């Protein structure tokens, strides 16, 4: 219970810190990652809980102890009740979609703020559920031992419960570490961006960076090459259907054909949309000429 109380404490502390610092412009994309760092810590703590349960279960298999069944059942039922109440509170919290109102639009306007998948709440929820699961297994084992004299059930059930605990811990570690390391974990959005920008058959994306900045909201940096470029607002309009994009930076590069003695030299320059490049295709440029 102490570890789960710590997990809930971590969630509360990171929530309060994020809320307190949400208007601090030194955080380029808001304070969301404070919550993620807390969730990452909770994921490690959850794995540690699993290790402790396995250790305790193995020790009880090797060195059986006398169990006070009635007392153990009372304590376990109390623990299960507390966990169910906590789980219900966290479930309501998730359904309400209450967020920290992260603002990372310093100098930019963001029209969409979608539902936030709050990893801090998720980590606390997994701790509570894992503790409840352990309690359920323990109750089943205690009744089995008391009524059927199957004393080995208690440690065996403990080991079985850790399978799910380790699974949840790994999934949470994977999700939080991806966010902390700015990993592009959404190929669908990446493909949608490419499809919208490159749909005219002339424009090509030469470089694309996409990363999460809050829940299911993303920031992206796009470098595109075109022989008939338009202004950045045109490309921003193209990307409006991608509601997950909260921050967009666009670099536009235009192909130009320059003369250089006997051999033609391809150069690139950021030029006005009025200048044209009629004799050289964008695909040729991207392929190295």
End residue of a domain, out of 137, 153, 180:
180
Nearest to 218 by CA among 252, 190, 196: 190
Q: Alpha-carbon torsion 232, 233, 237, 242, what sign?
A: positive
Examine the domain organization and report whether 15 and 90 are in the same domain: yes
- Residue 285 pLDDT class (50, 70, 90 cuts): very low
Residue 95: per-residue pLDDT? 60
Is the same domain home to 169 and 196?
Answer: no
- Quick one: average pLDDT of 183-188? 88
Would you place residue 134 in the very low, low, confident or very high pLDDT band (cuts 50, 70, 90)?
confident
Question: Same structural domain for residues 58 and 162?
Answer: yes
Please report the pLDDT score of residue 194 as a whole number: 93
Q: Are 118 and 244 in the same domain? A: no
Residue 148 shares a structural domain with residue 215: no
Q: Domain residues for 206? A: 187-286
Do 54 and 100 lie in one domain? The reply is yes
Domain edge (last residue) among 180, 209, 234: 180
Asked if residue 109 and residue 46 are part of one domain, the reply reads yes
CATH of the domain at 259: 3.30.70.1350
Q: Could you tell me if 133 and 104 lie in one domain? A: yes
147 and 11 in a common domain: yes
What is the torsion angle, in degrees rounded to the nearest 10, for the CA atoms of residue 112, residue 196, residue 117 and residue 126? 180
Among 180, 196, 219, the domain boundary falls at 180
212 and 146 share one domain? no
Total domains present in the chain: 2
Other Cβ atoms less than 10 A from the Cβ of 91: the count is: 14
pLDDT tens readout for residues 54-100 = 998 899 888 888 888 888 889 889 988 988 888 888 777 666 554 44
Residues 36, 131 within the same domain: yes
CATH number at residue 69: 1.20.1510
**Mean pLDDT computed over 156-176:** 89
Are residues 223 and 170 part of one domain?
Answer: no
- pLDDT digits 0-9 by tens, 28-56: 888 889 989 998 998 898 899 889 989 98
Q: What is the pLDDT of residues 99-123, one digit of tens each?
A: 444 443 433 333 333 334 577 788 8
């Amino acid at each position: 219970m102490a570890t789960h109380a710590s997990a809930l404490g971590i969630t509360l502390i990171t929530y309060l810190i994020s809320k307190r610092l949400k208007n601090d412009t030194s955080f380029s994309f808001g304070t969301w990652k404070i919550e993620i760092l807390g969730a990452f810590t909770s994921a490690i703590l959850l794995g540690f809980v699993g290790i402790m349960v396995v250790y305790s279960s193995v020790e009880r298999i090797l060195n059986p102890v006398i169990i006070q069944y009635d007392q153990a059942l009372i304590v376990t039922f109390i623990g299960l009740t507390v966990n169910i109440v906590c789980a219900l509170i966290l479930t309501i919290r998730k359904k309400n979609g209450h967020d920290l109102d992260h603002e990372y639009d310093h100098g930019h306007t963001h029209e969409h703020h979608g539902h936030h998948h709050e990893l801090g709440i998720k980590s606390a929820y997994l701790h509570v559920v894992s503790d409840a699961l352990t309690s359920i297994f323990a109750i089943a084992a205690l009744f089995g031992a008391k009524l059927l004299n199957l004393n080995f059930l208690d440690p065996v059930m403990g080991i079985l419960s850790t399978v799910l605990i380790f699974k949840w811990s790994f999934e949470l570690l994977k999700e939080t570490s991806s966010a902390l390391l700015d990993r592009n974990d959404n190929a669908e959005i990446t493909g949608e961006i490419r499809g919208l920008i490159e749909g005219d058959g002339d424009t090509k994306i030469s470089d694309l960076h996409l990363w999460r900045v809050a829940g299911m909201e993303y920031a992206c940096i796009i470098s595109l090459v075109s022989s008939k470029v338009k202004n950045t607002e045109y490309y921003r309009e193209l990307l409006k259907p991608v509601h997950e994009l909260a921050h967009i930076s666009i670099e536009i590069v235009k192909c130009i054909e320059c003369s250089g003695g006997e051999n033609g030299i391809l150069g690139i320059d950021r030029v006005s949309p009025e200048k044209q490049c009629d004799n050289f295709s964008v695909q040729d440029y991207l392929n190295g000429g």
